[in-house]
């Protein structure tokens, strides 16, 4: 699996259909000084620092690392398929697809809706196709899980022709994560994946929350872009849009407003110190008022969305926390669930405190009507599964890993 950023490439090599991770790593600082590849295989982690001018060179370095006597593959042709994370698929893609020239053109067209994400995703696709021209390449879209959101939920109360002309509507993001944890929650509760009603909260530096009815997304907090919704590490989430007009009248230009909303707000803006929840938790414990305020606003927004999405769903079987913060910050989970007993959420303080470090399981009491769960997300495994499902009908050559492999990330 390949997850390509503007100056990085994350990857994992899977043995399928077992979803076993053979090795993984990432290339960072592409085109910058201090570029490096970090690679984990078996019990060893290696770091190679070298000049990596562009993503093509980064992909070549990754593939070279995967092949050899002390590596998992004898030849890159043993890679049966490559799965790519793509952030924005617009309304066109409701699931993962084989990458063709038409698909690439569509991803380019949606780049204006995700200018920080789609262009690097395309760079990774082109780099991988250049190095593996005969290997199936699969695009897995962050937006596709949210393709089932109904019109009443995705439509903004703006002139309708803006939707018709420019596609301005709610799309939602983190869909691969929300889908994975919703499916996993159904399994843990002994329910069919198309039976469960749940609220899934993906909490990291980027945060979103989704209402899932009968296994399908019916509403989500992020909108046209990943800026809307919950408070995030450096993004504001919901606020009165007239604030932007107010600031524009006081000299802020478009670039400054964009930076303000996406890079200077959220936990960082509220605390004035950090966008890292671990740092803020320590600061708050030492009496820092603004760190505590940042945490309180963060939790309040989650709690408010849980209430809203309970109204949307009617019946809620589970609330799920995932992502770096959702999986590890017990104080945040407690704050997000505070005073929600009326919804049927009865938090178990001891279980909540012990649910850290990618530990999966319930954090509510046995008699809690709405089960609240911590489920570590695994977007990479979900992308690998989609990639194998689409490309798996083709013959995949077994490697020394004793099974067909796919590169995903």
34-42: average pLDDT: 92
Rounded CA-CA distance 221/211 in Å is: 9
Q: Do 7 and 28 touch, CB atoms closer than 8 A? A: yes
- pLDDT per residue as tens digits for the range 216-273: 999 999 999 999 999 999 999 999 999 999 999 999 999 999 999 999 999 999 999 9
Q: Do 47 and 38 touch, CB atoms closer than 8 A? A: yes
CATH code assigned to 2-144+394-408: 3.30.420.40
Question: What is the overall mean pLDDT for the chain?
Answer: 92
340-347: average pLDDT: 96
Percent over 90 (pLDDT), the chain: 75
151-175: average pLDDT: 96
Nearest to 197 by CA among 207, 209, 185: 185
195-203: average pLDDT: 98
Tell me if residue 177 falls in helix, strand or coil: helix
Q: Which residues have a catalytic role annotated?
A: 142
Tell me if residue 186 falls in helix, strand or coil: helix
Global confidence as pTM = 0.89
Tell me if residue 249 falls in helix, strand or coil: coil
Q: Do 128 and 66 touch, CB atoms closer than 8 A? A: no
78-90: average pLDDT: 92
Rounded CA-CA distance 34/361 in Å is: 40
Which phi and psi angles does 220 have, rounded to 5°? -155, 155
Give the pLDDT of residue 408.
Answer: 62
Name all contacts of 290-299 with Cβ < 8 Å and 24+ positions apart: 294/231, 294/267, 294/270, 295/267, 295/331, 295/332, 295/335, 296/335, 297/231, 297/270, 298/230, 298/231, 298/267, 298/332, 298/335, 299/332, 299/335, 299/336, 299/338
Rounded CA-CA distance 405/221 in Å is: 35
Nearest to 149 by CA among 91, 104, 109, 108: 91
- pLDDT per residue as tens digits for the range 261-293: 999 999 999 999 999 999 999 999 999 999 999
Percent over 70 (pLDDT), the chain: 96
396-402: average pLDDT: 42
**2-144+394-408 and 193-374 share one fold:** yes
199-205: average pLDDT: 96
Lowest pLDDT segment from 53-62, 176-185, 272-281, 298-307? 53-62
Give the pLDDT of residue 404.
Answer: 59
CATH class of 193-374: alpha beta
Q: Do 325 and 203 touch, CB atoms closer than 8 A? A: yes
- Is the torsion defined by CA of 57, 36, 398, 79 positive or negative? negative
Rounded CA-CA distance 268/62 in Å is: 34
Give the pLDDT of residue 127.
Answer: 87
- Is the torsion defined by CA of 189, 192, 195, 199 positive or negative? positive
Q: Do 404 and 398 touch, CB atoms closer than 8 A? A: yes
Angle separating helix axes 330-337 and 289-313, nearest 10 degrees: 50
Locate the domains of the chain by residue range.
2-144+394-408, 193-374
- Give the confidence band of 120 by pLDDT, cuts at 50, 70, 90: confident
């Amino acid at each position: 699996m390949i997850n390509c950023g503007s100056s990085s490439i994350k990857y994992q090599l899977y043995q399928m259909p077992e979803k076993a991770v053979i090795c993984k790593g990432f290339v960072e600082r592409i085109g910058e000084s201090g570029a490096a590849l970090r690679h984990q295989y078996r019990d060893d982690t290696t770091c190679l620092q070298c000049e990596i001018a562009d993503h093509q060179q980064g992909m070549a370095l990754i593939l070279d690392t995967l092949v050899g006597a002390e590596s998992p593959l004898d030849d890159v042709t043993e890679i049966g398929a490559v799965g790519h994370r793509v952030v924005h698929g617009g309304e066109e893609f409701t699931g993962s697809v084989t990458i063709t020239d038409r698909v690439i053109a569509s991803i380019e067209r949606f780049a204006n809706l995700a200018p920080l994400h789609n262009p690097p995703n395309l760079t990774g696709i082109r780099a991988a196709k250049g190095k593996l021209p005969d290997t199936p390449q699969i695009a897995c879209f962050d937006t596709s899980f949210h393709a089932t959101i109904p019109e009443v939920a995705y439509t903004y109360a703006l002139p309708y022709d803006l939707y018709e002309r420019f596609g301005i509507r709610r799309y939602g993001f983190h869909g691969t994560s929300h889908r994975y944890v919703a499916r996993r929650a159904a399994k843990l509760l002994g329910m069919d994946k198309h039976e469960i009603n749940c609220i899934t909260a993906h909490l990291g530096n980027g945060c979103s929350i989704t209402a899932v009815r009968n296994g399908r997304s019916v509403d989500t907090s992020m909108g046209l872009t990943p800026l809307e919704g919950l408070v995030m590490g450096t993004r504001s989430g919901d606020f009165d849009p007239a604030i932007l007009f107010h600031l524009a009248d006081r000299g802020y230009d478009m670039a400054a407003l964009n930076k303000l909303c996406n890079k200077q707000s959220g936990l960082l803006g509220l605390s004035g110190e950090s966008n890292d929840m671990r740092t803020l938790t320590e600061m708050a414990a030492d009496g820092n008022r603004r760190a505590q305020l940042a945490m309180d606003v963060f939790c309040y927004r989650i709690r408010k969305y849980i209430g809203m999405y309970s109204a949307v769903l009617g019946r809620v079987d589970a609330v799920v926390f995932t992502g770096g913060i959702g999986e590890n910050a017990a104080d945040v989970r407690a704050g997000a669930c505070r005073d929600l007993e009326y919804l049927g959420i009865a938090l178990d303080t001891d279980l909540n405190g012990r649910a850290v470090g990618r530990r999966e399981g319930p954090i509510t009491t046995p008699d809690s009507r709405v089960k609240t769960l911590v489920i570590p997300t695994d977007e990479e495994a979900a992308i690998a599964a989609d990639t194998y499902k689409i490309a798996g009908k083709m013959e995949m050559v077994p490697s020394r890993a004793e099974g067909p492999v796919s590169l995903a990330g």
